[in-house]
Structure 1
Amino acid sequence: MQRIDHQLPWGHLGTERSLSVFRFGAGSRKVYIQASLHADELPGMRTAWELKKRLTELEAQAQLNGVIELVPVANPIGLDQHLQSAHMGRFELGSGKNFNRAFYELSGPVGELIGSQLGNDAEANIALIRQTMGQVLDRLPAPASQLEALHRLLLRHACEAEITLDLHCDFEAVIHLYALPQHWPRWRSLAARLKAGVALLCEDSGGSSFDESCSSPWLRLAKAFPEAAIPPANLATTLELGSMGDTRVDQAQANCEAILGFLAEQGFIAGQWPQAPDECCEGMPFEGTEYLFAPHHGVVSFLREAGEWIEKGDALFEVVDPLSDRLTVVCAGTSGVLFALDRGRYTQPGIWQAKVAGRETIRVGKLVND
C-alpha cells in the first residue's frame, strides 16, 4: 500500500488540510473509490475502512490485478464544518456551494487538443484521452479556493480510472445508484450484490456531479467525433449506501464484500468470489423520479417506508399544522419505488420530503436537487 497525501492550498493562517489517497496494487488498469464527498454521509467512509483492510490483505496475497485507489475521506473541508454540534457536510459554509456540484468539464478542452488525432483504434484513443485529461487538469491556472483545489485533485485521480465509485448515502433510503444508461448492464451485478432498491439512469442530471464528470466526457467526445472509436471508458457511479445512520459493522462489511466481488468479476481481483444474485433491481430513468413536497409548514408523519413499491395516488405522508389544525395528505403522482425520505420531521414548502423513482419520464432539465 502506498499512501499519498496532498496538501490543500488556501488554508487559514496556522492551519492546513490534506487529502489522503491509498494506492493498492500495480498495473495499467485502475479503479478509483472515494467516500463521503458529502462529508456528513458516513456509511461510505465506514465501508471504505473495511475496503482498506481487505485490500491490504489482498495485496499481500498478490491477488490484485491492477491499481485500486481509495480515498476514505474525500472531503476534509466539510468534515470540519460543525454548527452547535450539528455536522454540515453537504455545502461549503463559506461559499454555500454543494461539494458535489460544478466539477470541471473535460471533454471540451480534451477535444480541442487531440480531436484530430483520434482514429479507429479504440484502445489507442482511450490511452490518449486519459493522458490528455490529466494534462488538461495539470495545466489549469492555480486554484482560486480550497474547494476548487479539492475538486481538481479528486478528478485528477479518477480521470485515469476504468471504474469509479463515489460512495454517498441519502437521509433515509434504500441502497440505490446513479449512472449512465449505457453503463447499466455492467452495474447490474453490483446492484444485485448490494441488494439495491433501484438504479437511476441519465446522461446529464444538470449538476456536473463527480460521477458524471468522470463518465460523461467520454459520451460527449464520442458525439463530437463520430468517426473515431471512443467507448465509454470510465464506468462511474454515485453509490448511495442507504441512510445516514447505516454505519453498523455488518452493513459496512457487507457493502465492502459486495464491492470486492464486483471488482473481482471485472477482473481486478483474483481468487474465488461468490456469484452475483440473479435478482436485481430495476434501472429507471432519472427523468421519472418525482420529488414530493409539503404545501405548508408543519410536522411530517410518513405513511410508507423507504424501499416500498408505490402506486400512483398512494398516500405517502401527512403534514399537520397544530396551530390552525390544517392537515394535508400528500400522495404519489407516479408509480414506482419510494427510495428516499427526508430526515427532518418539521417541514416547509420547497424542501423535498420523499422521492419516488418511476418508469415514465415526468421531468426535464436539471434533475438533481442541491
Structure 2
Amino acid sequence: MHIQRTPLVTTTLGTTRELVSFHFGTPGAGEKVYVQASLHADETPAMLTAWRLKQRLVEIEASARMRGEVVLVPVANPIGLSQHLLGQFIGRFEANSGQNFNRNFPMPAASALVERIRGQLSNEDAAHNARVLRAAVRDMLAATTPRNEFESLRLALLTQASDADIVLDLHCSLEATMHLYTSPASWPALEPLARYIGANGVLLATDSGGQSFDEIHALLWNEVRALLGERVPLGAPNIAATLEHRGQRDVGYDDASRDAEAIVEFLIVRGVIDGSARELPPLAHAATPLAGSEQLIAPVSGIVVYRASVGAFLKAGDAVFDIVDPLTDAVTTVTTKNDGVFYMRRATRFVYAGAPMGRVTGERAFRKGVLIGA
C-alpha cells in the first residue's frame, strides 16, 4: 500500500488541510478502480465502509491477489468535516460559497479534449484511444490552477479519478434503504455490485442535471464519443456510480463490513482481485429510471408520522405519511402514485408546506430537467 498526501490550497492564515489517498496494486497492470467516501462530509456510513474496505485491501495485497489498481480515498472532504454550527454538522455545502460539494464538477470540455487528442487516435485500437483520452484529461486537469481550498479539493479528487476505468462514489441519504445511482451505459457492468451489496433500488439516468462526481466521468465519455463519430473506436465507457449506504444514522460495523465485502467481490468479478466470488444473489428489484422516481411533497405544515417503512415496496395509493396539525386536529395523509420502493425519506419530523419528504421508485419516466435535489 502506498499513501499519498495531496495538500490543499490554504484559504486563510494558519490553516492547512490535505487529501489522503491509499493506493493498492500496480498502475497499468489491469483495470484502475477509484473509490471515494463521504464527499458529503456528514454522510458517515460511507466513511466507515471505506475504512473497512481499506483493511480488506491491505489483506488482499499482502496475499498477492491484486491484479489491477485500486485508489481509495476514505475521507473525500476534509473541508466539510470541519464545518459545525451550533452543534449541527454541515457537510453537504461549502460554507464560504454555499456550493454543494457534489454538484457542478468542472471537467475539461469535450471539444477541447477532442482537439487535443485528434492526431493521436487510432482508427482500429479502441483501448489505445481510451488511454490517450484519459491521459489528456489528466494533463488538462494538471494545467488548472485552483484559486481556493474548495477548488483545490475538487481538482485533487478529479485528478485521482480521471484515468480510472471504474469510479465508485460512496454516500448515504437521510433515512434510506441501500440503493445506487448510475447511468444506463454503466448499469450492465455494475449489476453484480448491486446484487452483492443488496441494493433495494437502482436509479438510472444518463444526465441527472447536477453534474455530480460520478456522472461527469460517464458524461464526458459520451460527449467525446459523439464528437469523434463511429469511425474512431473508443471502447467501453467509463463505469461510474453513486452508492447510497442507507441513512446517516446507519453507522455500524456489520453493515460496513458487508458493504466492503460486496465491493471486494465485485472487484473479483472484474478481475481486479484474484479469487472466486460467491454466487451472485438475486437483484432485489429491477432498475428503474431516475426520471420515474416520485418526489413526495408535504402539502401542509405539521408533525410528520411515517406510515411506511423506508425500504418498503408500496402500491399506488398506499399511505406513506401523515401530517398532523396540533392546532386544528387536521390529519393530512400523503399517498404514492407509483408502485415502487420507498427508498429514501427526510429525517425531520416537523415540516413546512412544500418540503420534499421522500421518494418512491417508478417504472415510468415522467420527470424532466434536473432530477436530483440540491
What range is the shorter-chain TM-score in? over 0.9
How many angstroms does 1:94 deviate by? Answer: 1.5
Q: Which amino acid aligns with 1:11?
A: T
Q: Which residue of 1 aligns with 2:222?
A: 219
Classify 1:323/1:25 alpha carbon distance in 2 versus 1 (closer, same or farther; 3 Å): same
CA shift, 1:96, in A, is: 1.0
- Does residue 255 (structure 1) correspond to residue 255 (structure 2)? The answer is no
Answering whether residue 13 of structure 2 is matched by residue 13 of structure 1, we say: yes
Confirm or deny that 1:146 pairs with 2:144: no
Task: Give the partner amino acid of 1:217.
Answer: L
Q: What value does the CA root-mean-square deviation take over the aligned residues? A: 1.3
Task: Give the corresponding residue for 1:171.
Answer: 174
Change (3 A) 1:180 1:75: same
Cα offset, 1:145, TM superposition: 2.2
CA offsets 1:39-59 (integer angstroms, 9 cap, x no match): 000111001111111111111
Secondary structure of 2:186's counterpart equals helix
Query: 1:340 matched to which residue of 2?
Result: 344
The residue aligned with 2:161 is: 158
Contact 1:8 1:146 in 2 (8 A): yes
SS of structure 1 residue aligned to 2:5? strand
Q: How does 1:301-316 map to 2 (within 5 A)?
A: 301-316=305-320
Aligned mate of 1:111, from 96, 100, 114:
114
Q: 1:233 — aligned with what?
A: 237
* 1:33 counterpart residue number: 35
Structure 1 residue 323: Cα displacement: 2.0
SS in 1 for 2:217: helix
Contact 2:111–2:227 (8 Å) recurs in 1: no
User: Deviation digits for residues 60-91 of structure 1, max 9, x if unmatched?
Assistant: 11110111110000000101111121111111
1:96-151 per-residue CA deviation (whole Å, 9 max, x = no partner) reads 110000101332331231245433321111010000000111112x2122111111
Matches within 5 A, 1:342-357: 342-357=346-361
Question: What is the aligned-residue identity percentage?
Answer: 40
Q: Equivalents in 1 of 2:259, 2:24: separation in Å?
A: 19
TM-score (structure 1 length as normaliser): 0.97
Equivalent residue, structure 1, for 2:367 = 363
Q: Which residue of 2 aligns with 1:77?
A: 79
- CA distance in 2 between counterparts of 1:311 and 1:280 reads 16
- SS of residue matched to 2:185: helix
Q: Counterparts of 1:51 and 1:362 in 2: how far apart (Å)?
A: 38
1:250-270, CA deviations, whole angstroms, 9 ceiling, x for partnerless residues? 111000100000001100001
Corresponding residue of 2:137? 133
Residue in 1 aligned with 2:273?
269
- Show the counterpart of 2:3: 3
Question: Is the CA contact 1:190–1:276 (under 8 Å) kept in the aligned structure 2?
Answer: no
Work out the CA distance in 2 between the residues paired with 1:145 and 1:81: 16
8 Å Cα contact 2:11/2:148 also seen in 1: no
Gaps of at least 5 residues in structure 2 are none
What letter matches 2:3 in structure 1?
A: R
Tell me, yes or no, if the aligned pair for 2:222 and 2:237 is still in contact at 8 Å: no
The letter for the 2-side match of 1:179 is: T
1:198 aligned residue: 201
Opposite residue 9 of structure 2, the aligned amino acid is P
Paired with 1:322 and 1:266, the residues of 2 have a C-alpha distance of 55
Does the 8 Å CA contact 2:186/2:238 hold for their aligned counterparts? no
Deviation, 1:313, is: 1.8
Tell me which moved more, 78-87 or 348-357: 348-357
With structure 2 as the length reference, what TM-score do the two structures score? 0.96
Report the secondary structure of 1:221's partner residue. Answer: helix
SS in 2 for 1:5: strand
Q: Which amino acid aligns with 1:64?
A: M
In the alignment, the residues of structure 1 paired with residue 92 and residue 300 of structure 2 have an alpha-carbon distance, to the nearest angstrom, of: 25
Secondary structure class of the residue paired with 2:295: strand
Counterpart-to-counterpart distance in 2, 1:90 and 1:350:
21
Cα deviation digits, residues 255-290 of structure 1 (max 9, x gap): 010000000110000123312213443110111011
Any idea what SS the aligned residue of 1:182 has? coil
> What one-letter code is carried by the residue in structure 2 that aligns with 1:130?
R
C-alpha distance in 1, partners of 2:103/2:205? 16
Contact 2:199 2:283 (8 Å CA) reproduced: no
Name the CA distance, whole Å, in 1 between partners of 2:47 and 2:250: 11
- Could you tell me which residue of structure 1 aligns to residue 187 of structure 2? 184
- Equivalenced residue count is 369
Whole-angstrom distance in 2 between the partners of 1:281 and 1:310? 12
